[in-house]
Amino acid sequence: MARTRSIKPSFFKNEYLAECEPMARLLFIGLWTLADSQGRMEFRPMRIKAEVFPYENCDILGLLKQLADKGFVRAYESGDVKVLEIPTFGDHQRCHPDERDEGLPPADESAETIVFPEPNAKPGNPTREPGNPPASCAFNPLILLPSSSTAPTNPATRSRSKPADPLRWTADSGWEGITDADHAEWSQAYPAADLPVELAKAHQWLKANPKKARKSNWRRWLTTVWLTKCQDHGGTHREPGNKAQPPATDPVRKRWWRGDAGRQMTDAEYAAWRRSQRGGDEAVALAASITIKDEDA
């Protein structure tokens, strides 16, 4: 599924990207829209061509090779999954907080890098490097080599993506990756929240609402949504029906009274204003001082 992405003006001045063909540069932009929030997508060249260049007759593997040689993309196989990754995706794209990744594995030590064939390579005579399978093996246009043999050496193209946050939640295991340092920071930031109780409540709420249990950043949801709401509403052990009261040092909050008043006043100021509009005590005193004489008396 394609997504909406942003492009920076510096894209057009990148001297390394300028060494690629214009079609390869356009392909690089198209890959952003196919990548998930982690900058990864399934490595399926024909599907990528159908998504980005549906009306063009081009060598999609040749274009991908140009980008891979410059370090803009890398293709690898982890287990049974072939992945195409944009190493610098997180440095230039800001995805929506609710956007989920597709669960594709990252490029770890066990991953094997996919090496693109040379443009002039003929079937049956692929370009091989030391350590490749012997020539008697069946031809594979996408040769697999250890990831270390084709890692980009240019520091400008080296991946600077941040490590994944270990904090996550699953329906079976509950919360995972919460450290003692997290407990200490949260206890200081949310003193009214009983952390064990709130974590258990959040676990049960997520199990009861599976459609809402799809978060791309569990730490942000747990702190800025769940614990913050608990703190603002008086804490875990607040009395039923009572919300947190503002500190005594806070100024009295005024409300905008629409209609007759038409200005901001506190509740007490508004009540006094209403009494003054009705006449108040002066009108009552004036009415009491008036006496009516009876002519028959």
pLDDT bracket for residue 251 (50, 70, 90): low
For 10-41, what is each residue's pLDDT tens digit?
899 889 899 999 999 999 999 999 989 888 99
Using H for helix, E for strand and C for coil, what is the string for 97-142? CCCCCCCCCCCCCCCEEEECCCCCCECCECCCCCCCCCCCCCCCCC
pLDDT at 252 over 60: no
In the block, residue with structure tokens 């040769």? 143
Q: What is the pLDDT of residue 256?
A: 62
pLDDT at 125 over 50: no
Assess whether 47 and 150 both reside in one domain: yes
Assess whether 149 and 179 both reside in one domain: no
Q: What is the pLDDT of residue 99?
A: 81
Using H for helix, E for strand and C for coil, what is the string for 197-242? HHHHHHHHHHHHCHHHCCCCCHHHHHHHHHHHHHHHCCCCCCCCCC
How many other CB atoms are found less than 10 A from the CB of residue 278?
A: 8
Per the structure, the count of domains in the chain is 3
User: At which of 232, 264, 279 does a domain end?
Assistant: 232
Assess whether 25 and 135 both reside in one domain: yes
Q: What is the pLDDT of residue 259?
A: 58
Is residue 124 assigned to a domain? yes
pLDDT at 142 over 60: no
Average pLDDT over residues 65-90: 89
Q: What is the pLDDT of residue 257?
A: 61
2, exposed or middle or buried, with CB in 10 Å at 0-12, 13-18, 19+?
exposed
pLDDT at 56 over 60: yes
- Report the mean per-residue pLDDT for the chain: 76
Q: What is the pLDDT of residue 143?
A: 41
For 210-219, what is each residue's pLDDT tens digit?
888 878 788 8
Q: Whole-angstrom Cα distance, residue 100 to residue 37?
A: 6
Assess whether 19 and 105 both reside in one domain: yes
AA letter at 103? G
Percent of the chain with pLDDT over 70: 69
Assess whether 143 and 29 both reside in one domain: yes
Q: What is the pLDDT of residue 264?
A: 75
